[in-house]
Structure 1
Amino acid sequence: MKTILNQQDADSFYEQLLDAHQGLDERQSALLNARLILLLANHLGDAKVLHECVEAARQMPAP
């Protein structure tokens, strides 16, 4: 699992995520997030890494 920034243009990706959620209600936004997570997980495909990512996300402190 990579925990150090590994994107060439992270700011543009973050902006794209924000734009994708514009105009969506809370339910639609949650569904978009769920679909995106499943697509990215499928693309990654490594069960061990996915497990590590889920555990790391659960342990991150709340803002």
Structure 2
Amino acid sequence: MTKLNIETNIADPDAFYEKLIDAHNGLSDEQSQFMNAKLVLLLANHIGDVDVLLEALALARAGVAAEPPRPAA
């Protein structure tokens, strides 16, 4: 069984992060969320290993509050 690699695995992570942020420039919040969803699905398809994807889902969800959103004050 393949295990999720959580070690730095990008040659220049800062440059990639900059490109990721740049890709969102000029998008509305809704468009940005849609782009993120598309990116997740594209990368999940590329990975293809359901066990690795489930591990990634669990790690991504860990520590994220499950409380419902609060109304604006």
TM-score (norm 1): 0.92
Structure 1 stretches of at least 4 aligned residues deviating more than 6 Å after TM superposition: none
Shift of 1:48: 0.2
1:48 matched to 2:51: yes
Which structure has the larger Rg? 2
Provide the C-alpha distance between the structure 2 equivalents of 1:49 and 1:16, rounded to a whole number of angstroms.
25
Deviations 1:5-61 (A, max 9, x none): 111111111011000000001000000000000000000000000000000000045
Gaps spanning 5+ residues in structure 1: where? none
Provide the C-alpha distance between the structure 1 equivalents of 2:31 and 2:64, rounded to a whole number of angstroms.
25
Q: 1:8 aligns with which of 8, 11, 26?
A: 11
- Tell me: higher relative CO, structure 1 or 2? Use CA pairs within 8 A at least 6 residues apart: 2
Provide the C-alpha distance between the structure 2 equivalents of 1:20 and 1:52, rounded to a whole number of angstroms.
27
Provide the C-alpha distance between the structure 2 equivalents of 1:40 and 1:33, rounded to a whole number of angstroms.
11
Query: Which residue in the other structure is 2:39 paired with?
Result: 36
What is the CA RMSD across the aligned residues, in angstroms? Answer: 1.3
Total equivalences in the alignment: 62
